[in-house]
Amino acid sequence: MVNKIMQLIREVKADKWLHLLCGLGVAQVAFTLLSIALPWWLSALLSFILSAIAAGVKELVDIKYGVPSIKDFLWTCVGGLIGVLLLIPLVI
């Protein structure tokens, strides 16, 4: 089981990990700042939405200057979700 998981991790391209990390970073910075003034649940929701917006904007830019990819968008959103989920226990 562990070998299969490790194999799946190795098969993920480097740029997908970068998308995940960027989504995670956007969500965590947003969550940290928003949670100063807003309830944790609203901070979490808005932080995820901001990471999804950042992912969408990046892919819209790629339409003109790169190669847009729904997978890139989804990896960034997954990073945003993970980023929010990691911080929620610290504020509730």
Say what the pLDDT of residue 75 is.
97
- 54-88 burial code (b ≥16 CB/10 A, e <16): bbeebbeeeeeeeeeeeebbbbbbbbbbbbbeebe
Say what the pLDDT of residue 77 is.
98
pLDDT in tens, the chain (92 residues): 889 888 988 988 999 999 999 999 999 999 999 999 999 999 999 999 999 999 999 999 999 999 999 999 999 999 999 999 999 999 98
Is 8 among the domain residues?
A: no
Say what the pLDDT of residue 68 is.
96
Is 23 among the domain residues?
A: yes
Is 38 among the domain residues?
A: yes
Q: Which domain holds residue 61?
A: 13-91
Quote the number of domains for the chain: 1
Is 57 among the domain residues?
A: yes
Is 28 among the domain residues?
A: yes
Is 85 among the domain residues?
A: yes
Is 54 among the domain residues?
A: yes
Is 6 among the domain residues?
A: no
